[in-house]
C-alpha cells in the first residue's frame, strides 16, 4: 500500500508539470511574467526525465520504496 501511494504521488507530480495540463508550469509563468512558457517547459524537461527513470525503477524493483521501513 505504501508502494502504491508513492507511485500515485510521483505520477500526479509528473502530470502537473507535463503538457497539456502543466499546472505547475503555469504557476511559474504567472510568477515570472517575462519568461516564455516554452522556456519553462525546456527547464522542466530534465526533471520529467529523472522522474520517469525513478518511476521505472520503482516499478521494476518495488523493494526500493520499502527499504527504509524495513
Backbone angles phi, psi at 55, to 5 degrees: -60, -45
Domain that holds residue 43: 2-62
At 14 the pLDDT is: 92
At 62 the pLDDT is: 87
Q: Do the domain assignments include residue 34?
A: yes
pTM of the full structure: 0.78
* pLDDT averaged per 10 residues, the chain (length 70): 90 88 88 92 93 94 82
**Residue 46 DSSP SS3:** helix
At 51 the pLDDT is: 94
At 11 the pLDDT is: 93
Residue 59: half-sphere exposure toward Cβ, Cα within 13 Å: 10
At 1 the pLDDT is: 79
Name the residue with cell 508513492.
6
At 8 the pLDDT is: 95
Q: Do the domain assignments include residue 69?
A: no
Structural domain total, the chain: 1
Amino acid at each position: 500500500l505504501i508502494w502504491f501511494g508513492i507511485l500515485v504521488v510521483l505520477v500526479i507530480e509528473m502530470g502537473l508539470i507535463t503538457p497539456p495540463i502543466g499546472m505547475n508550469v503555469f504557476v511559474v509563468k504567472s510568477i515570472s511574467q517575462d519568461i516564455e512558457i516554452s522556456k519553462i517547459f525546456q527547464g522542466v524537461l530534465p526533471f520529467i526525465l529523472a522522474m520517469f527513470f525513478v518511476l521505472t525503477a520503482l516499478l521494476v524493483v518495488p523493494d526500493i520504496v520499502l527499504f527504509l521501513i524495513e
